[in-house]
A and B are shown apart, each in its own frame.
Chain A
Amino acid sequence: MSVDAILNVENFSKHFVLHEQDKVIPSSYNVNLKVYPGRLTALIGPTGAGKSTVLNGIYRTYLASSGRILYQTAAGHEIDLARANDHQILELRKTEIGFVTQFLHILPRQKTEDVVAQPLYQRGVSKEEGRARARETLAALNLPRRLWSLSPSTFSGGEKQRVNLARGLTSKPRLLLLDEPTASLDPLTTQRVVKQIQKLKKDNIAMLAIFHQMNLVEQLADEVVELSPPPAENGDGEKI
């Protein structure tokens, strides 16, 4: 590989310590992976292998139990996301790292186009430009125009997912994490998403993704990392 990785996850492990139940739930174990600019790394593995946990660990929604998450910033610094302070992480989320989760947390009154443009507003992009870029992505993802000025709170699952995706795609972060972005989409819309992801690659965006469907991995992945469930700890290692 001639290009340097933008993200380098080394020996990442995560277990949840549940104090009340006096239990330790292992989730990801000893994960190693690299993500490159303009390329997509796909995480595969059975349910319970801790795929989403890795993404949450990189975004710092989860605190890593051990390991390093080395990220090369636009300014040329190396930051260990597992240990960086909260303000550093917030700044990176605002400017460089995006995450399309399976859930959409939004304010009930906000218009869809503003929800999508939100990350741009936070960076100081004007309302007009933000909305224009949001509409472009919403159109590309085939979300009906009549919905753009409504709040997504009453949308169907697939519609909400497209809003969430549009939000991640429009902001064009340097590193984009995608957690099953097509899980509730029909095949036609899924192909539109594929096109958008290919476009992002051309824009040199680095992506780490979990896909529900193997054919998407074949279509989109430049690197594939397979995870296996963590070995049992504390004798039982049971899942919730």
Chain B
Amino acid sequence: MKKILEVESFSKVYGRGCPRCFEQTGAEQTNICPSCKSVVAAHDVSFSLHQGEILGIMGESGSGKSTVVKCLYFDEEPTGGRAVFYDNGHQHSLFDLNTAKQRHLKNHSFGMVYQNPHLGLNFDISAGGNIAERLLMSGNNHYEKIRSKARGLLSRTEVLPERMDEIPKTFSGGMQQRVQIAKALATDPPLLFLDEVTTGLDLSVQAAILDLILEIQQELNTAMIVVTHDLGVIRLLAGRTLVMKYGRVIESGLTDQILEDPQHTYTQRLVASAL
């Protein structure tokens, strides 16, 4: 198994920050620095990810779990730390790249599926157009090829190809997520970020989306980081899991171990309160 991503001592502070931010915040305290009122969204987060592996990041709202993937996907800028993406023998130090290189990775090597489809999709253009947009950005410009690839992706994610020319607004929430997944997969990225992708969908739709994600992982050997507060999603998808609280990783391990034999007080409470 080859490493695809290595994150070391990642941190993200919202606000001006002060020298006492890190010592005065943490899992046992709060994520708001009492001295300068900055929010320490994440601090000292380290992990590695292998090709084709699904890593879960679990925690409640405000734990910093989404911040991690947002920074890796260049939606936000980190405050500190290092992240190295390994790509066919090349190493990219993610936080040191210029905007052009960032955009290149986003268009070619990374995929992102957001909880809110408005963030991942352009609601003014058709489902097929959304996928075409991503293919165009990654250098494809043959009209028929783009269209047939879009059709293939939509049928793979179980969106009726007949509806590819409709705008996402006319789709149900579950369908919009499928279109987002299809769009993210358009360039066959080796790394996919999934931020609360099933939150807010009804149970049968959730199950179908999770199933689709697993199938994709097995077919394409896509590495994924799955951010969720849902223990069920973690159990079904992730081989390993990080548990975050107030911006810190308080526990990490094999997912079944985290769920069956949690070590940290917080994780024990979390697992005990789940169904």
Contacts and interface: CB of A to CB of B under 8 A. Distances in A.
Nearest to B269: A20
A145 interface: no
Contacts of B269: 20
Interface string A143-166: 000000000000000000000000
Interface in A16-66: 16-20, 56, 60-63
B236 interface: yes
Contacts of A110: 211
Contacts of B1: 87, 91
A109 B211 contact: yes
Interface string A105-140: 101111000000000011000000000000000000
Contact of B257 (A19, A20, A61): A61
Contacts of A19: 264-265, 268
Contacts of B214: 107
Contact of A56 (B50, B260, B265): B260
Contacts of B239: 90
B170 interface: no
Contacts of B254: 60-61, 86, 89-90
B188 interface: no
Contacts of B263: 17, 63
Contacts of B77: none
B149 interface: no
A190 B272 CA distance: 34
Contacts of A56: 260-261
B218 interface: yes
A121 B221 CA distance: 12
8 contacts: A61-B261, A63-B257, A86-B252, A86-B254, A87-B1, A87-B50, A107-B207, A109-B207
A117 B64 CA distance: 37
Nearest to A62: B261
B172 to A, nearest CB: 18
Nearest to A153: B207
B211 A20 contact: no
B201 interface: no
A98 B256 CA distance: 14
A166 B82 CA distance: 45
A56 B204 CA distance: 31
B208 interface: yes
Interface in B1-49: 1
Interface of A: 16-20, 56, 60-63, 86-87, 89-91, 105, 107-110, 121-122
B265 A107 contact: no
B-side binding surface: helix, strand, loop or mixed?
helix
Contacts of B200: none
Contacts of B235: 105
Given A20-B265, A20-B268, A122-B218, A107 B211 contact: yes
Contact of A105 (B208, B236, B240, B272): B236
Top 8 nearest A-B pairs by Cβ distance? A19-B265, A108-B207, A62-B261, A109-B211, A61-B256, A107-B211, A61-B260, A86-B240
Contacts of B261: 16, 56, 61-63
Contacts of A17: 263
Contacts of B257: 60-63
A107 to B, nearest CB: 5
B216 interface: no
Contacts of B71: none
A63 B263 CA distance: 9
A107 B210 contact: yes
Interface string B191-222: 00000000000001001101100100010000
Contacts of A61: 254, 256-257, 260-261
Nearest to A89: B254
Contacts of B265: 19-20
B253 to A, nearest CB: 6
A65 to B, nearest CB: 10
A62 B210 contact: no
Contacts of A86: 240, 252-254
A60 B218 CA distance: 23
Contact of B208 (A63, A87, A91, A109): A109
B207 A18 contact: no
A116 B35 CA distance: 56
A67 B53 CA distance: 30
A54 B210 CA distance: 32
Contact of B240 (A18, A63, A90): A90
